[in-house]
C-alpha cells in the first residue's frame, strides 16, 4: 500500500506541473473546491476564518501562499504582504501565529536578502506579540532555512520556530543539532509534501511514518516544544499515550491540522484537553499548495472530481 500511495503522489504532482492542467485548475478553482483547503484570497477572509475556528476552541497559524520567489522585487512585495498580515493580527484576540516560506523572503535569490527580510518579519512579529514559523520547502532550501533559523535564534528571536520533514534522510541529524540550542527550540514536525528524489528522501510511506515517530519521540524527550502536524490518526493516538505516560506539560506540544482536513477529529482532540492549531492558507497564489493537498491521498482528488461533475 505504501508503494501505491507513493506512486499516486508522484504521478499527481507530475501531472500538476503540466501547463494545460495548471491553466484549467486555476480557471476552475472555485468549482473544484479550492475553498475547502484555502480560506480565501484576501486577508479579511482569513481573519474571519480564524475567528470562526477560535469560537470552536481551535487556534490558528496564518500562511500567505506563494513560494519559490526568485527576484528581489518579488521578495520585497511578499515581505510587505507578510508585514501587513502581522499588523492586522495586532488587534486580533488570542494567540497570534504566522508561517512564512523563506523563499518568499528572498532565500532563493541569496541568503543575505532572505536574512534581511527575515529579521524585518521577526521584529514585526515581536512588536505585535506574534510567533513566527520559518516553513520548510523542498530539499535545496533546507540548509538555508536552518541557517536562517539558527541565525535568528542567536540574535535573540526566541519566538521564531521552524519545520522538519520526516521524509528526508537527513532530518534525524538536523533534529539532533537543533536540540543543542539553549533554550530548546520550538519545531513543527511534518512528513513532507514536495516531490523529492530517492537520493534525498524515503520513497516508502512506512519508512516516512516510522521516521516521523522516531523524530517525534526524540524531540519530546530532548526537550523541544513540538507542533505535531499530521492527520495520521494512529500517530496521533500514540502521541496521546506517550504524553500521558511521560507526564508532559500541555505547553510542550500541540496537534496541528491543515485547514479543511478532518474537522471532526480536531474537535475531538480539543474535547480531550489538547491544544489544536489549524494551518490557514490564503492568497491568490494557491495552485502549488492545492496540488500538494490533492497529492496527499486519493480521497482529496475524489472530492474535487465530485465538485466538477456534480
| Burial letters 246-262, b for 16+ CB under 10 A, else e | eebeeebbbbbbbbbbe
Within a domain: residue 290?
Answer: no
pLDDT of residue 261: 87
**Same structural domain, 122 and 238:** yes
pLDDT exceeds 50 at position 12: no
**Same structural domain, 310 and 257:** no
Name the pTM for this structure.
0.84
pLDDT tens-digit profile of 47-84? 999 999 999 999 999 999 887 899 999 999 999 999 99
Confidence of residue 269 (pLDDT cuts 50, 70, 90): very high
- Identify the active-site residue in 63, 135, 174, 209: 135
Question: What distance in Å separates the CA atoms of residue 276 and residue 61, rounded to the nearest whole number?
Answer: 11
For the chain, the domain total comes to 2
Q: Give yes or no for a contact between 177 and 154, defined as CB atoms under 8 angstroms apart.
A: no
**Same structural domain, 89 and 132:** yes
pLDDT tens-digit profile of 20-56? 545 444 444 443 556 677 888 889 999 999 999 999 9
CA 187 to chain centre: 11
Confidence of residue 1 (pLDDT cuts 50, 70, 90): very low
User: Range of 65's domain?
Assistant: 39-285
CATH label of the domain that carries residue 262 = 3.20.20.220
**Same structural domain, 25 and 135:** no
Within a domain: residue 253?
Answer: yes
**Same structural domain, 63 and 114:** yes
**Same structural domain, 120 and 193:** yes
pLDDT exceeds 90 at position 96: yes
pLDDT of residue 34: 62
pLDDT tens-digit profile of 142-165? 999 999 999 999 999 999 999 999
**Same structural domain, 11 and 57:** no
Active-site annotation holds for 135: yes
Question: What value does the mean pLDDT take over residues 178-191?
Answer: 97
Of 149, 156, 154, 90, whose CA–CA distance to 125 is shortest? 90
Instruction: Enter the C-alpha cell of residue 292.
Output: 500538494
Within a domain: residue 120?
Answer: yes
The rounded percent of the chain whose pLDDT value lies above 70 is 80
Within a domain: residue 135?
Answer: yes
Angle of the 72-89 helix axis to the 111-127 helix axis, nearest 10? 10
Q: Which residues lie across from 258 on neighbouring strands? A: 279
- Identify the active-site residue in 9, 96, 174, 188: 188
- Beta-carbon contacts of residue 118 (< 8 Å; ≥ 6 apart): 100, 102, 105, 134, 148, 152
pLDDT of residue 67: 78
**Same structural domain, 43 and 30:** no
**Same structural domain, 238 and 156:** yes
Three-class HEC string of the chain: CHHHHHHHHHHHHHHHCCHHHHHHHHHCHHHHCHHHHCCECCHHHHHHHHHHHHHCCCEEEEEECCCCCCCHHHHHHHHHHHHHHHHHHCCCCCCEEEEECHHHHCCCCCHHHHHHHHHHHHHHHHHCCEEEEECCCCHHHHHHHHHHHHHHHHCCCCCEEEEEECCECCHHHHHHHHCCCCCCCEEEEECCCCCCCCCCECCCHHHHHHHHHHHHHHHHHCCCEEEEECCCHHHHHHHHHHHHHHCCCHHHEEEEEECCCCHHHHHHHHHCCCCEEEEEEECCCCHHHHHHHHHHCHHHHHHHHHHHHC
Q: Give yes or no for a contact between 77 and 99, defined as CB atoms under 8 angstroms apart.
A: no
Q: How many CA atoms lie within 13 A of 20 on its CB side?
A: 0
Question: What distance in Å separates the CA atoms of residue 62 and residue 49, rounded to the nearest whole number?
Answer: 10
Within a domain: residue 78?
Answer: yes
Confidence of residue 283 (pLDDT cuts 50, 70, 90): confident
Active-site annotation holds for 170: no
Confidence of residue 6 (pLDDT cuts 50, 70, 90): low
Within a domain: residue 291?
Answer: no
**Same structural domain, 24 and 147:** no
Within a domain: residue 259?
Answer: yes
**Same structural domain, 7 and 63:** no
**Same structural domain, 22 and 49:** no
pLDDT of residue 15: 45
pLDDT exceeds 80 at position 287: no
pLDDT of residue 251: 95
pLDDT of residue 109: 97
Within a domain: residue 292?
Answer: no
Amino acid at each position: 500500500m505504501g508503494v501505491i500511495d507513493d506512486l499516486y503522489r508522484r504521478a499527481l504532482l507530475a501531472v500538476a506541473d503540466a501547463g494545460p492542467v495548471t491553466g484549467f485548475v486555476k480557471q476552475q478553482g472555485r468549482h473544484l473546491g479550492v475553498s475547502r483547503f484555502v480560506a480565501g484570497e484576501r486577508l479579511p477572509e482569513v481573519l474571519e476564518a480564524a475567528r470562526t475556528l477560535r469560537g470552536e476552541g481551535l487556534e490558528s497559524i496564518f500562511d500567505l501562499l506563494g513560494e519559490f520567489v526568485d527576484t528581489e522585487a518579488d521578495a520585497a512585495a511578499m515581505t510587505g504582504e507578510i508585514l501587513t498580515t502581522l499588523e492586522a493580527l495586532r488587534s486580533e484576540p488570542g494567540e497570534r501565529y504566522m508561517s512564512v516560506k523563506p523563499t518568499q523572503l528572498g532565500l532563493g535569490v541569496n541568503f543575505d536578502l532572505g536574512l534581511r527580510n527575515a529579521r524585518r518579519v521577526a521584529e514585526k512579529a515581536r512588536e505585535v506579540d506574534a510567533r513566527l514559523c520559518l516553513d520548510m520547502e523542498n530539499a535545496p532550501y533546507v540548509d538555508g532555512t536552518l541557517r536562517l533559523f539558527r541565525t535568528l535564534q542567536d540574535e535573540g528571536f526566541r519566538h521564531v520556530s521552524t519545520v522538519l520533514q520526516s521524509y528526508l534522510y537527513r532530518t534525524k541529524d538536523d533534529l539532533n543539532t537543533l536540540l543543542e540550542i539553549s533554550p530548546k527550540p520550538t519545531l513543527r514536525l511534518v512528513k513532507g509534501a514536495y516531490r523529492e528524489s530517492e537520493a534525498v528522501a524515503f520513497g516508502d510511506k512506512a519508512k516516512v511514518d516510522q521516521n516521523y515517530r522516531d523524530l517525534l519521540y526524540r524531540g519530546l524527550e530532548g526537550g523541544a516544544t513540538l507542533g505535531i502536524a499530521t492527520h495520521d490518526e494512529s500517530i496521533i493516538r500514540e502521541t496521546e499515550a506517550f504524553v500521558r505516560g511521560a507526564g508532559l506539560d500541555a505547553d510542550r506540544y500541540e496537534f496541528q491540522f491543515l485547514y479543511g482536513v478532518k474537522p471532526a477529529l480536531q474537535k475531538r482532540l480539543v474535547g480531550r484537553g489538547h491544544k489544536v492549531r489549524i494551518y490557514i492558507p490564503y492568497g491568490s497564489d494557491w495552485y502549488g499548495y492545492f496540488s500538494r493537498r490533492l497529492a496527499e491521498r486519493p480521497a482529496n482528488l475524489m472530492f474535487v472530481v465530485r465538485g466538477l461533475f456534480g
